[in-house]
């Protein structure tokens, strides 16, 4: 296990996924969610196949002995993707991503319960504090006034979609962790892409719109961002426990704030900034804590008596 490598891959994947979300937010205003999901998944196949060909892993990397496991991951991930893309229509980019930060906390809990991963009190505390930051950012949607409007209120519906997507995403990441024990990264990403494309295609009878050439280019760009991010996020789980990596989903908030300001001229409120600072500090604490634990393990191994050969 190499926790710092896993964390680094997660942070870079977060940047690519945020750029994908910013691109898709432009498109969700003009195209139905199913169509957006289809093009995102289909164009994501390009970087995947290029990566596998560069490594010389085609077609060997696509072999699987756990088709049902891939199907479960595909269903959970596709449902999460659909909810997340639909929410982008109703919410500012940074708010949509911030609400999705309920997912890492759920991942840590599920990893401890289902995968039997050891989660120490320091990590539990950091994740709990991070959740406080998320709740601060959620506060505008948790007020009595926002809920009194019901689902007819766009932002409230967007917040509910984000929370649903976050729950499904946590389940998908647990399934990814299980798959990485026996399956190659290429196979995990490939079969997820195939599953999500097929499920999105089922929405065709409900009314798709013919994309313009500029919009088609945006769809391709979003797919490329998503494909690269998917490869990185799948690979990161090979190098660190799920409960270690999960809190670094919070780094997407930094990218979301920057892209929201640059692309959409959407300045964050003081509530979002406060929550962002809390979550960022918890992430830095986990990096420091894992580094210290790594040094302690190294010293213990060096001090252990060597067995005679």
pLDDT of residue 209: 93
CA 120 to chain centre: 23
For range 109-125, the mean pLDDT: 79
Q: Is the pLDDT of residue 251 over 50?
A: yes
Which residue has tokens 């300045």?
267
Q: Is the pLDDT of residue 53 over 90?
A: no
Q: Is the pLDDT of residue 295 over 80?
A: no
| Domain positions in the chain | 3-302
The band of 78, judged by pLDDT with boundaries at 50, 70 and 90, is very high
Question: Counting Cβ atoms within 10 Å, is residue 294 exposed (0-12), middle (13-18) or buried (19+)?
Answer: middle
pLDDT of residue 309: 44
Rounded to the nearest 10 degrees, what angle do helices 33-43 and 213-236 cross at? 60
Q: Tell me 63's DSSP state.
A: -
Of 281 and 142, the structure prediction assigns the larger pLDDT to: 281
pLDDT of residue 99: 79
* Residue of 249, 265, 247 lying closest to 257 (CA atoms): 265
For range 157-177, the mean pLDDT: 87
Give me the percent of the chain exceeding a pLDDT of 70: 89
């Amino acid at each position: 296990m190499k926790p710092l490598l896993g964390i680094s891959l997660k942070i870079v994947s977060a940047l690519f996924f945020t750029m994908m979300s910013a691109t898709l937010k432009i498109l969700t205003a003009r195209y139905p969610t199913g169509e957006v999901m289809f093009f995102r998944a289909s164009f994501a196949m390009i970087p995947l196949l290029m990566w596998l060909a560069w490594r010389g892993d085609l077609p060997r990397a696509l072999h699987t002995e756990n088709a049902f496991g891939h199907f479960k991951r595909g269903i959970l991930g596709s449902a999460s993707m659909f909810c997340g893309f639909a929410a982008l229509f109703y919410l500012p980019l940074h708010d949509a991503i911030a609400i999705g930060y309920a997912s890492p906390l759920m991942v840590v809990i599920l990893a401890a319960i289902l995968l039997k991963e050891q989660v120490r009190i320091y990590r539990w505390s950091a994740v709990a504090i991070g959740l406080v930051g998320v709740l601060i950012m959620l506060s505008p949607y948790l007020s009595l006034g926002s809920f009194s409007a019901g689902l007819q209120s766009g932002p409230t519906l967007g917040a509910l979609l984000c929370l649903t997507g976050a729950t499904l995403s946590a389940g998908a990441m647990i399934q990814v962790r299980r798959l990485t024990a026996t399956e190659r990264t290429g196979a995990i990403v490939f079969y997820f892409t195939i599953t999500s494309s097929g499920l999105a295609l089922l929405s065709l009878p409900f009314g798709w719109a013919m994309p313009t050439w500029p919009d088609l280019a945006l769809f391709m760009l979003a797919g490329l961002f998503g494909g690269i991010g998917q490869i990185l996020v799948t690979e990161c789980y090979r190098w660190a426990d799920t409960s270690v990596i999960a809190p670094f989903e919070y780094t997407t908030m930094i990218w979301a704030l920057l892209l929201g300001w640059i692309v959409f001229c959407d300045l964050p409120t003081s509530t979002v900034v406060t929550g962002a600072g809390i979550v960022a500090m918890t992430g830095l604490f986990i990096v420091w804590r894992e580094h210290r634990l790594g040094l302690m393990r190294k010293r213990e191994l060096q001090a252990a008596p060597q067995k005679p050969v």
